[in-house]
Amino acid sequence: MKHFADLFEALDQTTKTTAKVGALAGYFARATTEDRLWTMALLSHKRPRRTVTTTLLRTWAAEEANLPLWLFEESYHIVGDLAEAIALVLPKPEGQSTKSLSEWINIIRSLKDETDEVKRETITKAWSVLNHQERFVFNKLITGGFRIGVSQKLMTRALAQATGLDENIIAQRLMGNWTPDETTFERLLFEEKPEDKLSRPYPFYLAYALDLDPTSLGPVADWQVERKWDGIRGQVIIRESHLFVWSRGEELVTDRFPEFEMLAESFPKGVVIDGEILPWKEGNPLPFQLLQTRIGRKKLSKKALETAPVILMAYDLLEYDGDDYRSHPLETRREKLVAVVNEVNCDALKLSPLVKTEDWLALNEERKKSRAHHCEGFMLKRKDSIYKQGRKKGDWWKWKIDPLTIDAVMLYAQQGHGRRANLFTDYTFAVWDGDNLVPFAKAYSGLTDGEFKEITRFVRQHTLDRYGPVRAVKPQLVFELAFEGIQRSTRHKSGVALRFPRMLRWRKDKKASEANSLVDLKGMLDLYG
Amino acid sequence: MPLIEFKKEGLYVPAADVYIDPWRRVRKALITHGHSDHARWGHQQYICSHHSKPIIKHRLGDINVHGVAYGEELSVNGVKFTFFPAGHIVGSAQIRVEHQGEVWVVSGDYKTEDDGISGTFSPIKCHTFITECTFGLPIYTWVPQQQVFDKINHWWSTNQANGVTSILMGYSLGKAQRLLAGIDASIGPIYTHGAVEQMNAVIKTAGIPLPPTKYLNKEVTEKELAGSLVITPQGATRSTWMKRFGQVSLANASGWMQLRGARRRGGADRGFVLSDHADWQGLNDAITATGAETVYATHGYTNVFKQWLDSRGLDARVVQTKFEGELSEENSVESSQSDKLPSDE
């Protein structure tokens, strides 16, 4: 465990990419193959199943530290991270341990069907032989969520350094739903397995938001323009009469979308389509919330299928007749995609329509009408671009519409987690309904660290009431909130639900009384809902 | 009438008509230590420890200040005042107040580990103890300072071997001198920011030995700096002052660095947990040793700390003061630049 704890500390101590890759590569070169595999799993957010509840962990930590539970809870709120809070309050260790990362993980996993007494004994015994950093990591293994600023890309680069394998090959082999139980380090990285090959998706190509004047992109004729749909980016794979649907989060979601089942038999030799999974009815997309509700359900009911049927809005063709098509220029891929979609002739597979235009100016005017098409703006793709992997600048751009905005009053504040622990960063906002303030949205992004600090000071000095970690504050601060869409909601007191609300800016120039009202919000609902 | 009242001007001893660390202008002020939230501008007369005197004069200019020795009894209207070392920074004191057999102690800020330059804190028996609790939560437990200095020395040596300049941030009064006193000065040359250099000079006049340092003026070149250690207040590192340093490693030395979130938010490469305040154990031990039955918590995590002391059978109360605790991390950046905002680290 020491090696892994050291790695964690090294990664935590730097923000420099090269230093992180160096630390990781060094670790991968040294660690045992079991530890390597588990480290890769943890950094890919594949943590072992939780075998001990956090309630039990809190109770035992407080008891070991000889603290009343309420005091531990208060401390935890300040730290903002349970694994760290536990590591900080525990008494000094009595010994040390030479067990490896994998050994500790196996110990944690072996607790699955044990009694609480056995769990307790195992966990407290572990705490007594681990140092602070090791305890923190150990607790993280139980509670999950290794956020240490290591992206998949970064890990892939480090593995390439340590193994000498090609980065792109590693990226592709790491995709999908492997678990450390079903594979080994050697098999995962060095072996090509036929059944994996069948279901394996391609890494998605992602675009950055356009941050420059579109005219600087050259002639508009060089670009393919599509609408930017608001659903779930997905990849539909048809190989040897099998169908696989992957979401962008690298989750295999085939069984969530029976609408695509009939595609399985359509192309015997293999076709892979990149597109957007959208709830769709009578020629129009439905609100994203409906899709979210459908995915959230454990069992897919007949009613859900009727309320929110889905389609795949096809963007791109990555494989045709079993051949990797990604290095063909977009124009060629599009031509083939059109042919494929027409040939299948299935209601659940639609071709993403192109937006024709004469010049950038006209295109910009059209873009502003996106909301009427239930879209978020445009996607700009260079016609001669190959299909790259990951987020890359240059050939593909998101050109989104400006968000909707509203001025709202801060009502409640809560401390953040992780990097933002100890700062009040999560706020609840309200608008006026007559003389009352009605909460309607929560937001926690969009401000600078400096502003968060300033607001934290305000919150501490203007707390009216406390509800656990939540503080009711004097309704005084006004923020301009931005959001992508607005929907009617029966679950919220205000009657509306916003899509992706965030703080655009702090309106220091406005008094609380100058914030918008529920009438304004309902007006937006009528216009855009 | 209680021996000490909490008035809008500050802590007030009515029987002697004096204040302790007042935040509004008063006639006579007893000062625990030189930090700006305790020693404020505008009083007619200041009384503080001998070591504090040059510090306060340096910060507040031409003031009427009287120095007393630790342990020396000062009598005002029959009320006896005695200053004892608080271990917080050079010259810091706890103030014992005795009148008609009743004893109160005002802790000011304190730490229980002896840093070699700030005097040795020892608890004083009293009926009522007015204490800080900046780090009054069980998550704040310090490791012995030598372990921290070993880490700092190792960080500096490693940087030096790579030709990297080590920049260590700490408040110009207190932390900077503690770092200098604890660090292995034989590793290489130590440069200081102007605010630190001036404060060092003042503190040396109080008879406190510090290792030799060089003022980091405009003439010092990047080449000379490579591998050296620079001690600077937090604020300076965001200014253009630092831009010319070449390859640097930036570190923060503060009790707040105990939490991973604060370390990462600080934007420094390293965070060393080194505080001039008592940790959780220190606060608890000190309070127990005073034998006080009534405890006032003035700044820090006061509400939680009060509840904890109550559960241990003490009569604990929270008192609102203008002393900074919880916010000092946020404020230290600005105060080291302007020296206007209070800070205790």
The helix (run of H) or strand (run of E) holding residue A108 is helix A101-109
The angle formed by the CA atoms of residues A100, A104 and A107, to the nearest 5 degrees, is: 140
Instruction: Give the CATH number, domain containing residue B237.
Output: 3.40.50.10890
Looking at the structure, tell me whether residues B190 and B225 fall in a common domain. yes
Residues in A touching B304 (Cβ below 8 Å): 71, 74
Q: What is the per-residue pLDDT for A252?
A: 75
**Domain end call among B219, B247, B272:** B272
Q: Does A145 touch chain B (CB under 8 A)?
A: no
The angle formed by the CA atoms of residues B237, B242 and B246, to the nearest 5 degrees, is: 130
* pLDDT, tens only, A11-65: 988 778 888 999 999 999 999 999 999 999 998 888 888 999 999 999 999 999 9
Tally C-beta pairs within 8 A across A and B: 69
Looking at the structure, tell me whether residues B236 and B250 fall in a common domain. yes
Rounding to the nearest 10 degrees, give the CA dihedral for residues A45, A46, A52, A58. Answer: -10
B333 belongs to a structural domain: yes
Looking at the structure, tell me whether residues B157 and B280 fall in a common domain. no
Q: How many CB atoms lie within 10 A of CB B257?
A: 21
Check if CATH label 2.60.60.20 holds for domain A2-143: no
Of the candidates B261, B262, B269, the beta carbon closest to that of A13 is on: B269
* pLDDT, tens only, A125-137: 999 999 999 999 9
The reply to whether domains A2-143 and A205-400 share a CATH topology is no
B89 belongs to a structural domain: yes
pLDDT band at residue B237 using 50, 70 and 90 as cut-offs: low
Looking at the structure, tell me whether residues B254 and B297 fall in a common domain. no
Cα–Cα distances in angstroms (integers) from residue A22 to residues A42, A306, A431, in the given order: 18, 52, 50
Q: Looking at the DSSP assignment, which residues form a beta bridge with residue A232? A: A277
**Domain end call among B257, B272, B287:** B272
B290 belongs to a structural domain: yes
**Domain end call among B272, B296, B311:** B272
Looking at the structure, tell me whether residues B81 and B205 fall in a common domain. no
* pLDDT, tens only, B102-138: 999 999 999 999 999 999 999 999 999 999 999 999 9
The helix (run of H) or strand (run of E) holding residue A4 is helix A2-12
Looking at the structure, tell me whether residues B183 and B281 fall in a common domain. no
Cβ(A46)–Cβ(A175) below 8 Å:
no
- Name which of B134, B137, B142, B335 to mutate to probe chain A: the one with the most chain A Cβ atoms within 10 A of its Cβ: B137
Q: Does A422 touch chain B (CB under 8 A)?
A: yes
Q: What is the per-residue pLDDT for B328?
A: 45
Closest CA–CA distance from residue B159 to any residue of chain A (Å): 14
- Residues of chain B whose beta carbon is less than 8 angstroms from a beta carbon of chain A are 137-141, 258-265, 267, 269-270, 301, 304, 307-308, 311, 326-327, 330
B343 belongs to a structural domain: no
Q: Looking at the DSSP assignment, which residues form a beta bridge with residue A392? A: A207
The pLDDT of residue B65 is above 80: yes
* pLDDT, tens only, B154-191: 999 999 999 999 999 999 999 999 999 999 999 999 99
Q: Where are the domains of chain A?
A: 2-143, 205-400, 404-528
pLDDT band at residue B49 using 50, 70 and 90 as cut-offs: very high
- Name which of A78, A137, A140, A146 to mutate to probe chain B: the one with the most chain B Cβ atoms within 10 A of its Cβ: A78
**Into how many domains does chain B fold?**
2
CB–CB contact A419 B265 (8 Å): yes
**How many CA atoms within 13 Å lie on the side-chain side of A7?**
28
Residues in B touching A71 (Cβ below 8 Å): 137-138, 304, 307-308
Rounded CA separation A518/B4 (Å): 52
Residues in A touching B269 (Cβ below 8 Å): 13-15
Q: Chain B neighbours among A 452-491 (CB < 8 Å)?
A: 453, 456-457, 460
* pLDDT, tens only, A251-291: 778 888 999 998 988 877 789 999 999 999 988 999 888 88
Closest A-chain CA to B327: A457
CB–CB contact A420 B141 (8 Å): no
B18 belongs to a structural domain: yes
Containing domain of residue B212, as a range? Answer: 145-272
ipTM: 0.90
* pLDDT, tens only, A415-451: 887 667 778 999 999 999 999 999 999 999 999 988 9
Instruction: Give the CATH number, domain containing residue B94.
Output: 3.60.15.10
CB–CB contact A75 B264 (8 Å): no
Cβ(B225)–Cβ(A409) below 8 Å:
no
Looking at the structure, tell me whether residues B153 and B268 fall in a common domain. yes
Rounded CA separation B156/B330 (Å): 26
Looking at the structure, tell me whether residues B159 and B242 fall in a common domain. yes
B125 belongs to a structural domain: yes
Q: What is the per-residue pLDDT for B304?
A: 93
Closest CA–CA distance from residue A344 to any residue of chain B (Å): 52
- Both tokens assigned to A226: 């599509």
B344 belongs to a structural domain: no
Residues in A touching B141 (Cβ below 8 Å): 88
Check if CATH label 3.40.50.300 holds for domain A404-528: no
The pLDDT of residue A366 is above 80: yes
Rounded CA separation A292/A231 (Å): 9
Looking at the structure, tell me whether residues B220 and B308 fall in a common domain. no
Rounded CA separation B35/B177 (Å): 14
Q: What is the per-residue pLDDT for A193?
A: 66
pLDDT band at residue B64 using 50, 70 and 90 as cut-offs: very high
Looking at the structure, tell me whether residues B108 and B166 fall in a common domain. no
- Both tokens assigned to B307: 């509840």
Residues in B touching A416 (Cβ below 8 Å): 261
Q: How many CB atoms lie within 10 A of CB B70?
A: 17
The pLDDT of residue B341 is above 50: no
- Both tokens assigned to A477: 């601060």
Cα A428 off chain centre by = 22
Q: Chain B neighbours among A 80-119 (CB < 8 Å)?
A: 80-81, 84-85, 88-89
Q: Which CATH superfamily is domain A205-400 in?
A: DNA ligase/mRNA capping enzyme (3.30.470.30)
Residues in B touching A423 (Cβ below 8 Å): 265
B117 belongs to a structural domain: yes
Cβ(B94)–Cβ(B120) below 8 Å:
no
Looking at the structure, tell me whether residues B252 and B189 fall in a common domain. yes
Q: What is the mean pLDDT of residues B304-310?
A: 96
Looking at the structure, tell me whether residues B131 and B77 fall in a common domain. yes
- Name which of B134, B141, B234, B260 to mutate to probe chain A: the one with the most chain A Cβ atoms within 10 A of its Cβ: B260
pLDDT band at residue A195 using 50, 70 and 90 as cut-offs: low
